Amino acid sequence: TLDFRRADFGLFRDLLGRVPWDKALEGRGAQDSWVIFKGNLLQAQEQGIPTKRKSSKNTKRPPWMNKELLGKVKQKKEPFRGWKQGQVAWEEHRETVQAARDQVRKAKALTEVGLARDVKDNKKSFYRYVSEKRRMRENVGPLWNEMVTQDMEKAEVLNDFFASVFTGKCLSHTAEVTEPPTVGEDQ
């Protein structure tokens, strides 16, 4: 990204001012003029405005993710690359992944225990954590451009939609369900 705070706009203006625009753009169409202008602008931009890499240090991490755990999570990528190239055994990769998952699980549990312990003194942190956990979409968007509001209607539309995906037919949307669906093993 461009770092405008360290930009030398005087040099930038000077570089663009040195270009003989009358001669450079004389007798050219709009597209050719734009290409010439853009080339000169980008060349001046390279010299007058330095670039910087975005640092990922400022990204928001979950409360349980500390620096050590972040390193462990990143380390699990290396054995996977080695396994894909045939340099590392699958078992080694699997052990690394399981160890990282285990540490993440423990860190989450420790964070939640700490929140539960401190909830009387610091309610704000507890409710912030809870509100972050609760963020999710509650409604299903319209399928087949139908707007339905009742839960049973939504269930019918979803059922018809997914049934049509597997059968290739568009089923009727007016089927009335008298009893709620049950989930169980096939007999």
Residue 159 and residue 50: Cα distance in Å, rounded? 56
Which structural domain range is residue 161 located in?
137-177
Is the confidence at residue 184, as pLDDT, over 60? no
Structural domain ending residue among the three candidates 118, 134, 150: 134
State whether 127 and 141 are in the same domain: no
Residue the block writes with tokens 């992944």: 97
pLDDT band at 187 (very low <50, low <70, confident <90, very high): very low
For residue 127, pLDDT over 90 is answered with: no
- pLDDT at residue 148 greater than cutoff 90: no
What average pLDDT does range 74-88 have in this prediction? 87
User: Cβ distance 66 to 107 under 8 Å?
Assistant: yes
In a domain, 182, yes or no: no
Residue 142: pLDDT over 90:
no
pLDDT of residue 93: 87
C-alpha–C-alpha distance, residues 131 and 127, integer Å: 6
Q: What is the pLDDT of residue 33?
A: 92
pLDDT tens for each residue of 15-59: 999 999 999 899 999 999 999 999 999 999 999 889 887 766 667
In this structure, the answer to whether residues 68 and 128 fall within a common structural domain is yes
Among 20-29, 73-82, 138-147, the minimum mean pLDDT is found in 138-147
pLDDT in tens, 97-125: 999 999 999 999 999 899 889 888 888 88
Considering the domain boundaries, does residue 77 fall inside one?
yes
Confirm whether 39 is domain-assigned: yes
Structure confidence at residue 176 as a pLDDT band (50, 70, 90): low
C-beta pairs of 73-77 under 8 Å, 24+ apart in sequence: 73/100, 73/104, 75/100, 76/100
Q: Where are the beta strands (DSSP E) in 34-187?
A: none
The pLDDT mean for the chain works out to 81
Q: Is residue 53 part of a domain?
A: no
The total number of structural domains in the chain stands at 3
Higher-confidence residue of 106 and 165: namely 106
Across 159-172, average pLDDT: 68
Residues 76 and 40 in one domain: no
Q: Are residues 89 and 68 in the same domain?
A: yes
Q: Which two tokens stand for residue 120?
A: 């009387």
Same domain, 97 and 34: no
Q: Which pTM does this prediction carry?
A: 0.43
The pLDDT assigned to 181 comes to 54
